[in-house]
Amino acid sequence: MDHPLCALCGRPVPPHARQSRHHLIPKLKGGKGGPTVLLHQICHNEIHATLTEAELARNYATPEALRAHPRLARFVAWVSKKPNDFHSRTAGPRRLR
């Protein structure tokens, strides 16, 4: 059976894996009801640990733009070697809000 793919890392998201939907434009920035993408929870955590809501709305409103961000690109290279249901705490300090 084929599982949906994570919009950030491209790995399959099995039903038992921790997962969530990411608003491409944050709800606080007018994205309520807008397009969402399926992500592993660890990928979603990394996005929000890396970028502010304003940065997401302004410059990172597509999966392609997210993957192009240097920190997220390094994260994707690392997590792509992990099992599809891998989860751990997001490493490193969270950005200042």
Q: How far apart are CA 44 and CA 7, in angstroms?
A: 10
Residue 97 confidence (pLDDT): 47
Give residue 31's pLDDT band: very low, low, confident or very high (50, 70, 90). confident
Residue 89 confidence (pLDDT): 82
Q: How far apart are CA 86 and CA 92, in angstroms?
A: 18
Q: Give 48-92 pLDDT, tens digit per residue.
A: 999 999 999 999 999 999 999 999 999 999 999 999 999 998 766
Q: What value does the mean pLDDT of the chain take?
A: 92
Residue 18 confidence (pLDDT): 96
